[in-house]
């Protein structure tokens, strides 16, 4: 069951240190995140462009509105609703969105457990860095799942225990030294910084901080969120899928699928990969995180059936489809572009020529009258999220 004392402590932290602490701008935010773009996210989940863009989006646990602002600017036809437990963070979120012109958003001062009080259902729910800070994540994910419309998608980010091991140790050390002052977050930040300054440079916790977190933790808001948070649950693959199963929704996939390919780690030993094929999909995921324990978080999509995921293996269906460029790609027209994940992709001449013809009007069959590209190469463009396809 959820604990009101935990909710109150979390609210107090974020009233003291509104998070994230990104600066407020008088213009749309720079860059992009494809997971917050309805068209790109749906294309990733369903392997096709969505049929409509006038959708409802919920930012559940919006904090200071960094994600909310993107959700509004990246989805110009969507209605966006945002909610958070902290009134202090919501004040910042409201100012952030007003200043950048993200004016299609309604804010609610509510916890995840009260999400049923919001009107209607949502086609996209975004919940980043929130469930693991509640006293009852299963109740939280169930409550949100109940607000997801049929065919809708649910983007979630929660912490992973293996990549946060040193963080857990520092959290416990600060709490131990704070004693009765635990809950005084400013004291906790000052204490934590003093500990880091005092430990020898070869110390494992210090080394990890410098390698991974030191740059962002220069800000007290980040340091507090990481090291003095009153409530945190870190997951592994087993406990993660217990949370997912409790939602009653379908697991679509991790939003960083390349990380979860065993070939990335064991390509030198095909016999090991062959043995791993005897494992279930979840056991394979567990093997990957055991062999590469850098997993500090899991980011993934769930869906409420029916999600019409398209299979492009049929040649006739592929030829009859209409091609369009992924809106979360940067740098085109050029043979060297940034893909949806900010990775540089170098296109062949034929790929470049094909993509130039993807105008949202021509069918693949039409384009291939002028461009020499195989159907498998087109499938590769679609799988790599460079081109979106719509069934005829």
Regarding beta strands 79-84 and 56-60, do their DSSP bridges make them parallel or antiparallel, or are they unpaired? Answer: parallel
Helix (H) or strand (E) holding 155: strand 148-159
Q: Which of 122, 204, 214, 118 is nearest to 166 (CA)?
A: 204
Q: Do 64 and 91 touch, CB atoms closer than 8 A?
A: no
- Mean residue pLDDT of the chain comes to 97
Q: DSSP of 53-81, one letter per residue?
A: ---EEEEET-TTSHHHHHHHHH-TT-EEE
- In CATH terms, the superfamily for domain 4-161+234-303 is Vaccinia Virus protein VP39 (3.40.50.150)
Give the tens place of pLDDT for each residue, 166-224: 999 999 999 999 999 999 999 999 999 999 999 999 999 999 999 999 999 999 999 99
pLDDT at 27 over 60: yes
Instruction: Place 2 in a pLDDT band, splitting at 50, 70 and 90.
Output: low
3-state secondary structure of 371: coil
Sign of the Cα torsion 336, 340, 342, 345 reads negative
Q: Taking residues 8-22, what's their average pLDDT? A: 97
Question: Looking at beta carbons, which pairs linking 270-277 to residues 24 or more positions away fall under 8 Å?
Answer: none
Instruction: Place 3 in a pLDDT band, splitting at 50, 70 and 90.
Output: confident
pLDDT at 1 over 70: no
Give the tens place of pLDDT for each residue, 80-90: 999 999 999 99
pLDDT at 242 (0 to 100): 98
Regarding beta strands 148-159 and 297-303, do their DSSP bridges make them parallel or antiparallel, or are they unpaired? Answer: antiparallel
Give the tens place of pLDDT for each residue, 235-293: 999 999 999 999 999 999 999 999 999 999 999 999 999 999 999 999 999 999 999 99
Give the tens place of pLDDT for each residue, 39-76: 999 999 999 999 999 999 999 999 999 999 999 999 99
Query: Against a cut of 0.85, is the pTM above it?
Result: yes
pLDDT at 32 over 90: no
Q: Do 392 and 364 touch, CB atoms closer than 8 A?
A: no
pLDDT at 31 over 90: no
Indicate the domain borders of the chain: 4-161+234-303, 162-227, 315-390
How many residues does the structure list for the chain? 392
pLDDT at 297 (0 to 100): 98
Give the tens place of pLDDT for each residue, 278-320: 999 999 999 999 999 999 999 999 999 999 899 999 999 999 9
């Amino acid at each position: 069951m959820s604990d009101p004392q935990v909710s109150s402590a979390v609210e107090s932290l974020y009233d003291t240190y509104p998070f994230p602490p990104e600066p407020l701008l008088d213009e749309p935010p720079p860059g992009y995140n494809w997971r917050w773009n309805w068209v790109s996210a749906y294309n990733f989940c369903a392997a096709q462009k969505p049929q409509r863009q006038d959708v409802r989006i919920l930012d559940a646990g919006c904090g200071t509105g960094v994600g909310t602002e993107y959700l509004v600017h990246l989805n110009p036809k969507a209605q966006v609703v945002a909610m958070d437990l902290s009134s202090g963070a919501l004040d910042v979120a409201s100012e952030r969105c007003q200043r950048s012109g993200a004016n299609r958003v309604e804010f609610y001062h509510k916890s995840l457990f009260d999400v049923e009080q919001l009107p209607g259902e949502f086609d996209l729910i975004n919940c980043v860095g929130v469930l693991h800070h509640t006293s009852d994540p299963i109740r939280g994910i169930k409550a949100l799942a109940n607000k997801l419309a049929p065919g809708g998608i649910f983007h979630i980010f929660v912490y992973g225990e293996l990549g946060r091991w040193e963080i857990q140790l520092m959290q416990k050390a600060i709490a131990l030294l704070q004693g009765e002052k635990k809950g005084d977050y400013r004291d906790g930040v000052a204490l934590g910084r003093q500990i880091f300054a005092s430990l020898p440079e070869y110390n494992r916790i210090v080394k990890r901080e410098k390698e991974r977190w030191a740059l962002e933790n220069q800000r007290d808001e980040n340091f507090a969120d990481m090291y003095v948070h009153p409530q945190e649950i870190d997951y592994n693959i087993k406990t993660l899928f217990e949370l997912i199963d409790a939602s009653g929704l379908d697991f679509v996939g991790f939003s960083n699928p390349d990380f979860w390919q065993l070939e990335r780690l064991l390509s030198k030993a095909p016999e090991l990969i062959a043995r791993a094929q005897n494992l279930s999909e979840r056991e394979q995921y567990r093997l990957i995180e055991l062999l590469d324990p850098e997993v500090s978080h899991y980011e993934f999509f769930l869906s409420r059936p029916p999600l019409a995921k398209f299979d492009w293996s049929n040649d006739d269906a592929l030829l009859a489809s209409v091609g369009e460029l992924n809106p979360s790609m940067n740098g085109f027209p050029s043979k060297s572009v940034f893909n949806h994940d900010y990775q540089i992709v170098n296109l062949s001449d034929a790929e470049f020529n094909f993509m130039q013809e993807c105008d949202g009007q021509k069918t693949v069959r039409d384009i291939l009258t002028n461009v020499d590209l195989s159907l498998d190469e087109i499938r590769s463009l679609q799988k790599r999220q460079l081109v979106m396809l719509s069934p005829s």
